[in-house]
Amino acid sequence: MVKPAVLFVCLGNICRSPLAEAAFRQQASAAGLDVLVDSAGTADYHVGEPPDPRAIRTALRFGMDMADYRGRQVSADDFVRFTHIFVADRSNLLNLHRVAPQDHAAQIGLLLDLIPGREGMDLTDPWYGDEAGFLETWSDVSAAARHLVALLER
Ligand code: 4NP
């Protein structure tokens, strides 16, 4: 079997997708899963920047240090390097399809499609709100990560 490679995508790559990356790294590592993990944004607003300080603090509360993560923008290459791409919301799913090369093997879907009962839904962007929103994001991305680990273990 090909080694799975998972990319999490949001708009800025400073809030939702780094948190999804951290939650999945944590759980994949606990499960002993050999997988490549990364995150990216569809926009270039925060390229080279660390995640939002509120996101860093939230992940730290759950034992994950994201201080070294740096924002980057999705590239055509990602559709070849990654076997699975999970997107935070429908707007960025559209953005992603716009930059996808004609044929690629990567499976693309919404992150919340991983959670039974939440298929088709958007992951709320905590960027516009307060710190409590980041806790909710952590809870959502952790639930998605649990399902993804189970899926990849099969
Ligand atoms: P993210 O949140 O897509 O979850 O990283 C955002 C971060 C920055 C912006 C929008 C959303 N922004 O407009 O700069």
DSSP states along 52-120: PHHHHHHHHHTT---TT----B--TTHHHH-SEEEESSHHHHHHHHHHS-SS---EEEEGGGGSTT-TT
Q: What is the pLDDT of residues 15-57, one digit of tens each?
A: 999 999 999 999 999 999 999 999 999 999 999 999 999 999 9
Q: What is the pLDDT of residues 55-104, one digit of tens each?
A: 999 999 999 999 999 999 999 999 999 999 999 999 999 999 999 999 88
Residue 125 is a catalytic residue: yes
Q: What is the pLDDT of residues 102-133, one digit of tens each?
A: 988 999 999 999 999 999 999 999 999 999 99
Pocket lining for ligand 1, CB < 6 angstroms: 10-16, 45, 125, 127
CATH H-level, domain 5-153: superfamily:
Response regulator (3.40.50.2300)
Q: What is the distance in A from the centroid of ligand 1 to the CA of 125?
A: 7
Note the pLDDT of residue 1: 67
Residue 15 is a catalytic residue: no
Domain edges within the chain: 5-153
In ligand 1, which atom is closest to the CA atom of 17? 4
Residue 16 is a catalytic residue: yes
